[in-house]
Structure 1
Amino acid sequence: MDKLAKLREVVLGRMIDPQQQQQLISAFSRIVVEFSFDNVLLEMGFGALLNLKINRLDRKFCYWLLTRVDLNSCLMVFGDGKELPLCPLQWNLVLSIPYGRKTVPLVCDGVDESTQGRIRAIGGWFRMVDASGRTHLPVGEVEKVFVSKLDKTKGKLRTEEDVVHFKSAYLVVLGQLLCPTTNGGNLSISLLLAVSVAAKAENYNWCSFAFDWLMSYVSKFKGKFDKYNFVSGCGGCTIFLMMFYIDHLSLTPYYWNETPRINVWTQSDVMGVIEADRKASRIMGS
């Protein structure tokens, strides 16, 4: 079976049996490696994410982590009084995403015609309109669209438009890691403008962007939690909170001299540390 046939099989199989958001990143990274597009990803500044070894999250643990974030002081605060400061630069140390000089855009008001054209192109490539007329950006569909395009180009990025298509597709899928919503299957339509900078993604501050997105979801989470004492879903990059937290536990240090931290932690290591923390403290956070 050729590479494209294998990838179609993987994508279609996962659409029948959807998994959590990190598996989308892992699968798209496989496309990158299979077709030697890693040089394009390195150019974008996201090459370290190819080393992601975590394909699922402990939902209860991530839910608990969100309850520990203090918005006013930008701290993670735990029951034993321990406090961990949070700031955008930490995202570079943990995930090695770009910390460029330009602000990732979110507000469409006043954008130039060139940017509007890019947004229209991205929408034409990936968005879907449901029966009720609502527009969605389903992340799983992005993979299918991109694999279909690779069919036509015989697995090559032949033109500049092909490269931009790939970079845009990757940013849409990456949104499931850096900027997830409570609806895990769709990327927020509000992020189309952010995707429009894909051609020069390395020049933008994705650390601050992901940090601000997380904090906005923490705010929504806490508002609902304070009102109802329960929240049905989590948004924001909880994988960052998870890796940042387990790196600061008073357990055996784990390759402290290596960054980014995404290179260090495997799925089994993460689950083992979380379980050890539970057993040691009966509640997490000691």
Structure 2
Amino acid sequence: MAAAADHDDDFMEPPVRSSSLPVKYVASVSRCTPISISSIVNDFNDEKKRLAREMKFDGILKLPEITNSREFSHNLLSRVSTEDIAIRMGDGSLLYFTDGDVHKVLGIPFMGKELRIPSMEEINHIKNIICIRLNVPEFKKITRTVLTDILSKKHEAPMSDDEVAAFKTAFILLVMTKFLAPQTLLDNICPRYFMALKNLDDIHNWNWARYVVNDIIAAARALANKLTDETKATYINGCVIFLQIFYLDNLELGPLSLKHDCFPRIMAYDKHAIKVRMSMDLKEKNQYKPTQFGMMKLRPRSEVCYNRHTMGMMSAFRAESGAVPSEINPDNSKLQHPSALAQMQFTTNIPTANNLHAKTSTSMGTPGSNGSLDLNRSVKSEQETSLNLNKTYPRQSLCDIEPPSFDLGIDLTPVQESKKVNWIKNYQTEDVSSSTWVAHVKPTAIKLTGTDIHNFIEGNDRVEYPTVSLYTRRLIQLDFEMYGETDAYGRRHFIEPDFGVHAIAGGDYWNPELFRQQFTGPHLKYNVSKCENIHVSLCDIKHWSCYTFNLHRRVIYILDSSKPEKSEDVRQYSRHTWIVPMLASAMQQCLSLFFSDWKEDVTTWAYKEPGVPTHRFEVESGVYTLEFMKNWKGTDVAKELNSACIDKVRANILLDILTIRDNVAALPDFVKQLVRQYEDGVVVKK
């Protein structure tokens, strides 16, 4: 009994949470819910679509399925400069936006009369009109359910005038409340744009895009005040989806940078497209503080459909816009004239096309294949390869021999490779830098200019996709040159990084047929499905990794130089947990499609992350990845690799690329001499 008394709840102090323990951060909830709109408009019949087009809200009809990311929305809204009407970039520059940009992204009216806040008398009058149109007894009875029921109602015959009025009114109320200008609490409709609802035939003559801009600025100002006061912002307002699409559309994302060939731009960004590109811009993720984005830089202005306004142009825009409307000052935006600036900014820099899927087979080709060099020209000397690939070699069963180390044993005598690379680096002139040094046309066109070579030598940024692709092709050639007449030839295969890019992008960007030539064809004298290892390189944000599919052990090895050695807990690295399944699915589709005897299921394979040498700087990850691909023995890396020898490894990679067979471009004369010396100086260990 005494023991029981000692533990009587009436005499025990309640547990107290230590104030020193960190609290997990939970991002604010955005009231912008595009899925509540797209789920309805996708079921519109032709008559309802025609009514939406009459109001010039065509873009809403093309709204894809989008899930709003809390972290991304909060970060972008917190980076909006309310004074400049711009998004602050990671490098400190400003990405300005105007109503013309809203029109290009969302496809809503961006010229015409300003949407001012009505007086209280006008509000009450318009509320009565709305109640009559929607057939509700009082305004507070109008909820989201009422609006969706009107929009989803099936009409056996053409709609009457009253039904058309109800549809248009419900459409504007729901789209504004849940998407374009979300405000206040759920189902509490904000009256600030009611002036446009007086005359439904005049809806297209109002500047709805300007209203969206003003609402975003008001939402950003409210969030900034919360952050300044260190007050928890439970909800955020504003059309943050516009910010997401506009921001991502302006970023330099390499092969994931979409061509601006379809409008409105939002139709190119479903939830998966946003997620993949958003992850590339991720700068810092910490469960105890807001997630930070801003890793990537802006694309060149010539590649986007936006005008990229200057400070002077934005001054004119702010003068036209007036102050941002607020509930306290109900009549501070009275401009009634069309926006001349908006007319000017709608002139696109890029010709418009309306075929989003065309980029699946064209614009989303091998990264780095664009440029002034005509890689489609006929080259008389071009062959499948300069090697004798018509000869086949009998091989023992793959299970009967031990795998080679693939240590090519290259000794670059008489001149060290680092000295050769320094010559290349120092002898570059402007003409040499701008010229194309390496151009390879099969299976797809890739080129490297002198500037690309110089940037790779410098090693101040990540290794770019064209460099990795060319080196991948060179490794296949080297295997044939070194092992073509032995049983070791064909034990491993290399897939170019565009495979991973398309696999991760998914949707319309993934098509196995785009990669048939990387798995089969006359240039490959072995059956890829019988290889022991298939290496796939992929860059996540700025970090390269190699994903090795071991077809004999049914294991996917993740060779990641950012991970400490001797640790195989792959799940501590979240990026691999979602990348590997997508790569596995893509690999399974290709193997089963291109090889009729493939019976395995790659998607069920285990995956491990063995200990490999780790890099010192993030920009070295590409070099490490290429070295892993070249020297992976099946369980570990054959050659010792560390930061002390990184320059030598980088030089080897470059010289291998410069000696690639079937280069249809002309190397500068001094580089040709160095390449000949490199080839003559190579001594292969027997």
Bucket of the pairwise TM-score, normalised by the shorter protein: 0.7 to 0.9
**Shift in Å at residue 238 of structure 1?**
0.4
**Shift in Å at residue 181 of structure 1?**
1.5
Kindly provide the amino acid, as one letter, of the partner of residue 139 in structure 1: R
**Residue 126 of structure 1 contacts residue 142 of structure 1 at CA under 8 Å; is this kept in 2?**
no
2:61 to 27, 34, 50: 50
**Residue 71 of structure 1 contacts residue 219 of structure 1 at CA under 8 Å; is this kept in 2?**
yes
Aligned equivalent of 2:74:
63
1:99 match: secondary structure: coil
Aligned equivalent of 2:114:
103
Counterparts of 1:186 and 1:136 in 2: how far apart (Å)?
A: 10
Decide which structure has greater helix share. 1
Distance 1:161 1:92, change over 3 A: same
Kindly provide the amino acid, as one letter, of the partner of residue 130 in structure 2: I
Counterparts of 2:47 and 2:85 in 1: how far apart (Å)?
A: 39
**Residue 99 of structure 1 contacts residue 206 of structure 1 at CA under 8 Å; is this kept in 2?**
yes
Task: Answer yes or no: is 1:28 the counterpart of 2:40.
Answer: yes
Task: Answer yes or no: is 1:246 the counterpart of 2:254.
Answer: no
Task: Summarize deviations over 1:196-246 as a string: whole Å, max 9, x none.
Answer: 343321111111111111111211111122112531111010000010111
Decide which structure has greater strand share. 2
* Aligned sequence identity (%): 20
TM-score by length of 1: 0.79
Aligned equivalent of 1:4:
none
**Shift in Å at residue 144 of structure 1?**
2.1
Task: Answer yes or no: is 1:121 the counterpart of 2:133.
Answer: no
Distance 1:28 1:194, change over 3 A: farther
Counterparts of 2:135 and 2:282 in 1: how far apart (Å)?
A: 42
Structure 1 runs not aligned, ≥5 long: 1-18
2:235 match: secondary structure: coil
Counterparts of 2:61 and 2:279 in 1: how far apart (Å)?
A: 26
Q: Within 5 A, what are the aligned runs for 1:160-199?
A: 160-175=161-176, 176-199=178-201
Counterparts of 1:186 and 1:155 in 2: how far apart (Å)?
A: 32
Distance 1:157 1:181, change over 3 A: farther
Distance 1:163 1:118, change over 3 A: farther
Distance 1:55 1:283, change over 3 A: closer
TM-score by length of 2: 0.35
Q: Within 5 A, what are the aligned runs for 1:138-177?
A: 138-147=143-152, 150=153, 154-175=155-176, 176-177=178-179
**Shift in Å at residue 96 of structure 1?**
1.3
Structure 2 runs not aligned, ≥5 long: 1-30, 286-290, 296-686
Counterparts of 2:69 and 2:136 in 1: how far apart (Å)?
A: 30
Q: Within 5 A, what are the aligned runs for 1:258-269?
A: 258-269=262-273
Distance 1:177 1:122, change over 3 A: same
2:229 match: secondary structure: helix
Q: Which runs of 4+ in 1 moved over 6 A?
A: 126-129, 279-282
Counterparts of 1:199 and 1:116 in 2: how far apart (Å)?
A: 21
**Residue 33 of structure 2 contacts residue 179 of structure 2 at CA under 8 Å; is this kept in 1?**
yes
Larger radius of gyration between Structure 1 and Structure 2: 2
**Residue 139 of structure 1 contacts residue 172 of structure 1 at CA under 8 Å; is this kept in 2?**
no
**Residue 24 of structure 1 contacts residue 140 of structure 1 at CA under 8 Å; is this kept in 2?**
no
Distance 1:280 1:117, change over 3 A: closer
Aligned equivalent of 2:102:
91
- Tell me which of the two structures has the higher relative contact order, counting C-alpha pairs closer than 8 angstroms and 6 or more residues apart: 1
Aligned equivalent of 1:12:
none
Distance 1:259 1:188, change over 3 A: same
Kindly provide the amino acid, as one letter, of the partner of residue 171 in structure 1: I
Q: In angstroms, what is the RMSD of aligned CA positions? A: 2.8
